[in-house]
Chain A
Amino acid sequence: GAVVSQHPSRVICKSGTSVKIECRSLDFQATTMFWYRQFPKQSLMLMATSNEGSKATYEQGVEKDKFLINHASLTLSTLTVTSAHPEDSSFYICSARLGTVSYNEQFFGPGTRLTVL
């Protein structure tokens, strides 16, 4: 199957700093990628849809100025958590959709665990 990678796998940072997480589709091009957040013992929550070459679409309640998304190429999307605080500590997961058809399956990255001290 298609492979999606994330970097870093885990990061610990101080409160107030910014953290960038990369999501890459390794063996396919992805015009659309998605970012999710998962708190302990909870399900995945969709944060935003990232389209190559255009602005991301954020879900209701997600602060676009805090969670900056850039999708500059067909294989890379980045999520930057700006001025991170302890409540931003979570498991961040990206996915990439195969092809351009909206209902094609999505392939997920392994996730990035962010801990903000």
Chain B
Amino acid sequence: DAKTTQPTSMDCAEGRAANLPCNHSTISGNEYVYWYRQIHSQGPQYIIHGLKNNETNEMASLIITEDRKSSTLILPHATLRDTAVYYCIVRGMGTDKLIFGTGTRLQVFP
């Protein structure tokens, strides 16, 4: 599976949009981009995933560049409860493993 690169940490003001970038320049055509988050001392929570089209659900939006080498997770109105480590994971269609990198620690402040 392709490797991902994320910033170590980010800050965001409450109520503002949080834009979390992820680089996956070696992604191949059959690999999906997944986002999970982990609030302190809890299990990871699935957020969203996509292949090449932009995706939106009740939690977030996922914007994937046309060349698929990078993506951005958008939390439209961040709240204090969104403070967590966010993981961007690339996974192929033929594998069920999720390999977690170091993720981005998002701190939402009042």
- Report 10 cross-chain contacts, Cβ distance below 8 Å, ordered by A residue: A6-B43, A34-B96, A34-B97, A34-B98, A44-B44, A46-B99, A93-B43, A103-B93, A105-B34, A108-B36
Interface of A is mostly: strand
Compute the total of residue contacts between A and B using a CB distance below 8 Å.
61
A residues less than 8 Å from B94 (CB atoms):
102-103
Q: State whether A108 touches B45 (Cβ < 8 A).
A: yes
Residues of B within 8 A of A (CB): 32, 34, 36, 38, 41-46, 49, 87, 91-103
Does A102 contact B96, Cβ atoms closer than 8 Å? yes
Docked-complex contact A43 and B100, CB < 8 angstroms: yes
Q: CB-CB < 8 A to B98: which residues of A?
A: 34, 46, 95, 106
A91 at the interface (CB under 8 A from B): yes
Binary B-proximity of A80-117 (CB < 8 A = 1, otherwise 0): 00000000000101010100001111111111010000
Closest to B43 in A: A108
- Chain B CB within 8 A of A75 CB: no
Residues from chain B with Cβ under 8 Å of A44 in the complex: 38, 44, 100
- Complexed CA–CA distance, A103 and B42 (Å): 23
Query: Dominant SS at the B interface?
Result: loop
Minimum CB–CB distance from A96 to chain B (whole Å) comes to 11
Q: In the bound complex, do residue A106 and residue B41 qualify as a contact, i.e. CB atoms below 8 Å apart?
A: no
B43 touches A49 (CB 8 A): no
Question: Do residues B100 and A111 form an inter-chain contact, with CB atoms below 8 A?
Answer: no
Shortest B60–chain A CB gap in Å is: 14
Task: Give the distance in Å from the alpha carbon of A1 to the alpha carbon of B57 in the complex.
Answer: 13
Given contacts A102-B95, A103-B91, list 13 more A-B pairs with CB under 8 A: A4-B43, A34-B97, A43-B101, A43-B102, A43-B103, A46-B98, A46-B99, A93-B44, A103-B92, A103-B95, A105-B49, A106-B96, A113-B41
A46 CB contacts on chain B under 8 angstroms = 97-100
- A 25-68 binary contact with B (CB < 8 Å = 1; else 0): 00000001010100000011110010000000000000000000
A110 touches B49 (CB 8 A): no
With contacts A49-B97, A102-B96, A103-B91 taken as known, whether A110 is within 8 angstroms of B102 at the C-beta atoms is no
